[in-house]
Structure 1
Amino acid sequence: MEKIRTHKDLRVYQASFEAGMEVFIISKTFPKEEVYSLTNQIRRSSRSVSGNLAEAWRKRRYPKSFVSKLSDVEGEAAETQVWLDYALACQYINEEQHSPLIKKYDSILGMTVTMITNHDKWTL
Structure 2
Amino acid sequence: MSDERRFPRWVYGTGSEPDARFSLANERTFLAWIRTSLALLAGGVALEALELPVQPDLRFAAALVLVSVGLLAPVLAWVGWARAERAVRLRSSLPAPSAFGLLVLGVCLAGGLVLVGLVVG
Give TM-score scaled by structure 2 length. Answer: 0.51
How far the C-alpha of 1:68 sits from its partner, in A, is 2.2
> Residue in 2 aligned with 1:72?
102
The answer (yes or no) to whether the contact 2:48–2:63 under 8 Å persists in 1 is yes
From 47, 54, 59, the counterpart of 2:79: 59
Q: 1: distance between equivalents of 2:69 and 2:115?
A: 17
**Unmatched segments (≥5 aa) in structure 2:** 1-26, 84-94
Contact 1:48 1:73 in 2 (8 A): no
Residues 74 and 52 (structure 1 numbering): CA distance in 2 closer, same or farther, change over 3 Å?
Answer: farther
Q: Which residue of the partner structure matches residue 61 of structure 2?
A: 41
Q: Quick one: distance in 1 between partners of 2:111 and 2:103?
A: 13
Q: TM-score, normalised by structure 1?
A: 0.50
Task: Report the alpha carbon displacement of residue 40 of structure 1 after superposing the two structures with TM.
Answer: 4.8
Which residue in the other structure is 1:88 paired with?
Answer: 118
Alpha carbons of structure 1 residues 72 and 17: separation in structure 2 relative to 1, 3 Å: same
Shift of 1:26: 3.9
Which protein, 1 or 2, shows the higher relative CO under an 8 Å CA cutoff with sep ≥ 6? 2
RMSD: 3.2
2:41 is matched by which residue type in structure 1? F
- Distance (Å, rounded) in 2 between the aligned partners of 1:28 and 1:85: 12
Q: Percent identity?
A: 11
Note the residue ranges of structure 1 that are not aligned, 5 or more in a row: 92-124
Report the count of equivalent residues.
83
Contact 1:41 1:83 in 2 (8 A): yes
Structure 1 or 2, whichever has the larger Rg, is 2
